[in-house]
Amino acid sequence: MMDEPKFEDLSNMQLVNEDIFNFDQNDGNFQVLNPLLHNFDEIVVNPHSEYCFTTPMENGIIVDLNYPQIPEKENCGTCTTGSVKSRPTGIIPCQDEFGGHMNFEVMLDSSSQSYRQKWHYSVALQKIFIDIDNVLLLNFKYDYEKIPCDIPLFVRAMPMYSAANWLKEPVERCLQHLSPIDQLNKSFTHLEHVLRCDNDSTTYHIDQNSKRKSVVTLLSRPEHGSDSTRLSYRFVCKTSCFSGMQRRPIIVIFTLEDNNGQVLGRRILPVKICSCPKRDMEREEQDTKLKKNTVFRRNKKCITQKNHHHHHHHHYDNGSPPNKLIKIETSTESETEIKNDNPYTLPFNYVTNKKENYKIILENVYTVVAGASLLHNIKDTKPFLDDLKSKLDNLK
């Protein structure tokens, strides 16, 4: 639950523009204002008076003056949180799906089997599982006849945490993938963004208040013979990265906007970026069956598959359309790990006479091993990490 806003006493508040209230105390008009200011809670000021003194209100609630101003033309299609309208990249962006008068839709393009091998879509979870730096083709459909040809439209794609505890946190890349020397960052300057778009006319934005990263792409009109426009996306960090998303579930919010920032439509796509999309999809589907009474299920459609009508894609009894998703197997790689009888020992032989150097090396080794263990799900490093932690504790 959000904390109740706290407001300072009127005497302690700092005015945004003090010049407009700098009156000459010797002026007779100033004496007229004195009783009004001393009895602020009881007065009713005539809005047409030249000395009108009001507090910004909306629905009977004082508006937070420190909250960033919202463009007037962005009101349509936004949510309201408390008394302040929510922006597409605000502190807590709206997650309500709607097609709007443009009938905005997002469809997964599964026409190419080469792409399908790198990502899997679970109809039961309404979620996509994809490997890092692999192409995700999405088809965007809207009623382009309803808007003049000279008015451009844009699609904003913004990743966001879906868990309640992390709603306010912007999605960040991990330190490893954020490094300029990482292979994914060659000839690319917007390193902070988890999501990229390969299409032309793409810009990368960072909200200065919420710090949320989003990708905005000009949405061209469909080619002749087609009713949708295709965009190509890539994720350049994994959901499990230790210093990044840290296994926190994310969604991608797609908003259809005009050049004034007015939201015309909104769709949501839950995503997991992982090394084994098929395996992780099967695990989550199995977990959903075991905890079906407690798992959150979205009841609004947003993503459809190209060859299945979007009004019926979620009515399959087995949770997946026939001949589209690979059948779930009874075992996975992690359940049938291959054991090796030949142990491997790390070549650690470091000796120093300086306690400070010893501590620094020890701390960094612990950080690297712990991060790699979490990232790659390595469990046999626990005794080693416990020993390192014990040595660090003894140095304090």
Q: How far is CA 47 from CA 50, 52, 55, 63, 286, in A?
A: 8, 6, 12, 18, 63
**Angle, nearest 10°, between helix axes 355-376 and 382-395?**
150
Q: How far apart are CA 265 and CA 254, in angstroms?
A: 8
Judge whether 237 is annotated as a binding position.
yes
**Other CB atoms within 10 A of residue 110 CB:** 17
Whether the CA torsion 323, 328, 334, 339 is positive or negative: it is negative
Q: With contact defined as beta carbons under 8 Å apart, do 128 and 136 qualify?
A: yes
94's CB contacts (< 8 A; 6+ apart) are 78, 79, 86, 88, 266
The answer on whether 197 is annotated among ligand-binding residues is: no
241 is in an annotated binding site: yes
> What's at 396, amino acid-wise?
K
| Residue 359, SS3 per DSSP | helix
276 a known binding residue? no
In this structure, how many other beta carbons lie within 10 angstroms of the beta carbon of residue 261?
Answer: 18
Binding-site residue ranges: 174, 177, 237, 241
List binding-site positions for Zn(2+). 174, 177, 237, 241
